[in-house]
Amino acid sequence: MEAWIWIAAVVVLALLVVARNVRVVQQSQAYVVERLGAFNVVWNVGVHLKWPFVERVASRVSLKEQVLDYPPQPVITKDNVTMQIDTVVYFQITDPKLYTYGVEQPMVAMETLTATTLRNIIGDLELDQCLTSRDIINGKMRVILDEATDPWGIKVNRVELKNILPPKEIQNAMEKQMKAERERRESILRAEGEKRAAILEAEGEKESAILRADAKKQQQILEAQGKAEAILAVQRATADGLRLLNDAAPCDAVLRLRALEAFAAAADGKATKIIIPSEIQGLAGLAQGVVETVRQDG
């Protein structure tokens, strides 16, 4: 009976040992396993069993992208301006073995390396360049940090300068400069607006004058065309009358009578001295004789 108790105890102990040495590795994690103090294997996602008293899990590593937000630190620029800059680093562990054995306290090493790299880059730039070249600074830092942390099994994906805080007096000077620049731009825009308005007004007056001149020109052309057409109509009527008269073959008496009518029309009661041609005088006598003959016949 005692033998069965010992057997049961051994079985339970064995089950406990096995249970304690079964490991389930979750997604986006990796376990670094040592055997007798030396690196043995890296466990990825799944169920694993380690040898009791021989193997141990040296470290559990997260393979997700991680973020390190460093507090502001003083940095001196090339023109001797001390600024406070805080940095954000996005990184990912790509080799758990190198991360475990590459460097002591990797996060502290990352922070120190980031600070020294930032100081070296900012030290070569002036204040204005630091404020306007964030993308360039971020790119340089990412390349340098990624290259330096590659032996540690770390991949630096992005580096961002979150805030750049110059000294208070420089901030006040920059605000005054920005205010003066805005006022200058406002003055330029106002002057350009006034200039544009004057140009538009002048162009409007010019177009109006051109339209008035064109209208007057068209009026004069139409009046001249009307007069020309009237003269042409009179000339045509005169020519038609002469042609009809010529076609009728009038006698001398009729021609003289027409000449007398024309002479009367020319005088029109306004002439102070009238010279009557001899032909018209004879025509007048002839006309008077004709009138008397008609009266006698009557």
> What's the pLDDT tens digit per position in 83-106?
889 899 999 999 999 999 988 888
Q: Which residue has the tokens 């096995």?
A: 18
Rg (C-alpha) for the chain, rounded Å, is 60
pTM: 0.56
pLDDT at 270: 55
Residues near 10 by Cβ (< 8 Å), separated by ≥ 6?
none
Which pLDDT belongs to residue 128?
83
How far apart, in whole angstroms, are the C-alpha atoms of residue 286 and residue 279? 11
Cα 226 to Cα 144, 223, 233, 238, 284: the distances in Å are 92, 5, 10, 18, 40
Task: Give the model's pLDDT for residue 264.
Answer: 58
Q: Which whole-number Å values give the CA distances from 90 to 140, 142, 158, in the listed order?
A: 14, 9, 5
pLDDT of the residue at 290? 42
User: Strand 46-49 and strand 22-25: pairing?
Assistant: antiparallel
> In 3D, which of 74, 18, 76 has the Cα closest to residue 47?
18
Cα atoms in the 13 Å half-sphere on the side-chain side of 177? 7
CB-based burial of residue 194 (10 Å sphere; 0-12 exposed, 13-18 middle, 19+ buried)? exposed
Q: Compute the distance between CA of residue 3 and CA of residue 160 in angstroms, rounded to an integer.
A: 69
Q: How far is CA 104 from CA 67, 107, 216, 220, in A?
A: 19, 9, 98, 103
Task: Give the model's pLDDT for residue 294.
Answer: 43
Give the pair of three-digit tokens for residue 292: 């008397």
- Sheet harboring 38-43: ordered strands across? 38-43, 29-35, 55-62
Record the tokens describing residue 139, joined without a space: 């790119």
Residues of the chain with pLDDT under 70: 1-2, 18, 242, 245-246, 248-298
Helices 134-149 & 106-123 angle (0-180, nearest 10): 140
d(Cα 91, Cα 63) in Å, to the nearest integer? 10
